Structure formats: structure tokens, C-alpha cells
Chain A
Amino acid sequence: DAGITQSPRHKVTETGTPVTLRCHQTENHRYMYWYRQDPGHGLRLIHYSYGVKDTDKGEVSDGYSVSRSKTEDFLLTLESATSSQTSVYFCAISFHGGDSAYEQYFGPGTRLTVT
């Protein structure tokens, strides 16, 4: 995996508790993304970042917030976890320049279960 780590890798939490997932990259890439993957839906974009402190919403952003205070770290927070947020969460990074056209490199994923 291209210098991308996610923590924790597995988490079980109760409904109503806050949860923060961390994505860390060592590639110094500008763009970072958070996706969720659910059966039958492929990957759906939650939030993304195009630079430090520059973030925007994806297609399924309700109930999630993000922060990026450093190039290497992108945090995803579930303010008050619900059972519908049980999913596998993937972080990805990309850059654009030269021959690159925004191909993305993915972390190993975090499996989150909300009980």
C-alpha cells in the first residue's frame, strides 16, 4: 500500500458515541479522500480534501465531519455514531501532475461496527 495507513483497523462502538478514524500518508500527496463501502454500493465518497484545511463534502456526507491540519493526516469523525454507519471505511490519496490523472491509492480500510 502506497504509504497510507489507517487507524484503527477495526472498531466496535455503541450508538451515540463519537468515533474518529485516522488516515496517514507519507507520500506528500495533495488530495485525500474518505469513502465508505457497503454491499451493492461500491465505494461512495464521504468527504475529500484538496489541501491543508481545504475540505468539501462528497455524496454521503451527512453525519460525518473531517479535518486536515497537516498534509499527511486526514481525520474522519462520526459525531454520534448510528447503526447505518456500520461499514468499511477507506482512505485514498491522489496527485495530479505529469502523466498522473488523479488515479487514487487506497489504504487498507477500517471496519467499523456500530451496535
Chain B
Amino acid sequence: SQQGEEDPQALSIQEGENATMNCSYKTSINNLQWYRQNSGRGLVHLILIRSNEREKHSGRLRVTLDTSKKSSSLLITASRAADTASYFCATVVLNDYKLSFGAGTTVTVRA
């Protein structure tokens, strides 16, 4: 069964706006990762946040983690057409190294 669940399933925004998507998970984790998948391509690792971290930034990406609520959010600021993609959260549970993926959020950025 999937550990992570993303919300919303789909998101459509205007270029320049911010996009926020959320991920909830079920069991204690070692870390949580976000990936992007452009249409017809493999997944690309975006950012990793460890269980003892609360917030992390990478360029226009901001990730938060709330272990008490078992949830994470990914914020993409000042979106561009090139950000159109599906975004997946994935968790690594304690004492393991395999990833468990959610079903993803499809983001469409309109010009």
C-alpha cells in the first residue's frame, strides 16, 4: 500500500503564481523526498528533507515537514510553464531504504 498521499490530485495555476501541494503519510519516517516527472520521462529528484528538519529550500522550492501531523508540503514560487509536471512525494521509513511513493499531483502552469 502507498505510504504517501498527495493533495490535490491536480492543480492549474497561472504563470507567476505559487503552487502548493501536500503529502500525508502513515508511519514514522527517516526522510521524505519530492520528485518531478515531466510527461513521458523518468522521475527527477528535487529535494530531500530529513525527519529532524522542519523546512528546506532549493531555488524556488520550499519544503516543510511536520512529523507530528505526518505531513509535508511543497511550494513552488513564481511558477513557470516549465514547472508543468507531476510531482510525487516519497518516504523512507525507519530502518529501511526503499521509497514508497504517493499517486502524485499534476501541476499545469498556464501562460
Contact = CB atoms under 8 A, between A and B. Distances in A.
A107 B42 contact: yes
B101 interface: yes
Nearest to A48: B98
Nearest to A56: B98
B42 A103 contact: no
Contacts of A33: 98-99
A101 B43 contact: no
B47 to A, nearest CB: 9
Contacts of A101: 30-31, 48, 50, 92
Contacts of A102: 31, 92, 97-99
Contacts of B97: 31, 94, 96, 102
A105 B45 contact: yes
Contacts of A90: 42-43
Interface of A, helix, strand, loop or mixed by DSSP: strand
Interface residues of A, number: 27
A38 B102 CA distance: 12
A43 B41 contact: no
A59 interface: yes
Contact of A1 (B42, B102, B103): B42
Interface string B7-45: 000000000000000000000001101000000111111
Interface of A: 1, 4, 31, 33, 35, 40-45, 48, 58-59, 90, 92, 94, 96, 101-109
30 contacts: A1-B42, A4-B42, A33-B98, A33-B99, A42-B2, A42-B101, A42-B102, A42-B104, A43-B101, A44-B101, A45-B99, A48-B98, A58-B98, A59-B1, A90-B43, A92-B43, A94-B97, A96-B97, A101-B30, A101-B48, A102-B31, A102-B92, A102-B97, A102-B98, A104-B45, A104-B99, A106-B43, A109-B40, A109-B41, A109-B42
